[in-house]
Amino acid sequence: MPVYRLSEAASLLGVSDDTLRRWAEQGRVTTTTTPTGTLGIEGTTLAALAAKRAHLDQQAEGPHTTSARNRLRGIVTHVTRDTVMAKVDMCCGPYRVVSLMSREAADALDLRPGVVADAVVKATTVVVEPAR
């Protein structure tokens, strides 16, 4: 079973080291000791915490029936519009998400910097590689 240092776990969860330490002190997450003697989190515990944090608020407005399972809430950071298309940049936690859509759709959704939005990802192919 892999054990991750708190700094690694925090980075994977998109929170600060201090936040993760507070959660451990509050008993919100179970910690263990790494082979080098530092505080860490077992892989299965980290996976369960990540899955729990990814849970979306069921009271949120918007479509509730969709086959897309990858929904990232973020803030729009930049919108580039031309006559036909728009490029929408978002920051979703530690991730940058870029969407290309029709200008008409971007206008109808009133997408502009500072607007909170959900990036819903539906892909037929997802490449997963182990971290290096």
User: From the centroid of its chain, how far is CA 32?
Assistant: 25
pLDDT of residue 57: 47
The reply to whether 49 and 82 lie within a common domain is: no
Q: What is the pLDDT of residue 78?
A: 93
Distance between CA atoms of residues 31 and 37, nearest Å: 12
Q: Does residue 102 register a pLDDT over 90?
A: yes
Q: How confident is the model at residue 65 (pLDDT cuts 50, 70, 90)?
A: low
Statement to judge: residues 41 and 78 lie in one domain: no
Is residue 64 assigned to a domain? no
Residue type, 96: R
Which residue reads 């990814």 in tokens?
Answer: 54
Q: What is the pLDDT of residue 34?
A: 84
pTM over 0.85, yes/no: no
Query: What domain count does the chain have?
Result: 2
CATH classification at residue 29: 1.10.1660.10
Q: Does 33 map to a domain?
A: yes
Could you tell me which of 26, 20, 22, 54 has the C-alpha nearest to residue 40? 20
Q: Concatenated DSSP letters for 96-108?
A: EEEEEEEHHHHHH
The answer to whether residues 79 and 115 belong to one domain is yes
User: Which of 27, 53, 79 represents a domain boundary (last residue)?
Assistant: 53
Q: Where does 27-115 have alpha helices with state H? A: 43-53, 103-108
Give residue 48's domain range: 3-53
Q: Are residues 79 and 49 in the same domain?
A: no
Domain membership flag for residue 127: no
Whether 22 is in a domain gets the answer: yes
Q: Is residue 63 domain-resident?
A: no
Q: Are both 12 and 42 inside the same structural domain?
A: yes
CATH number at residue 96: 2.40.50.100
Answer whether residue 129 is part of any domain: no
Say yes or no to pLDDT of 43 above 60.
yes
126, part of any domain: no
Q: Quick one: pLDDT at residue 11?
A: 86
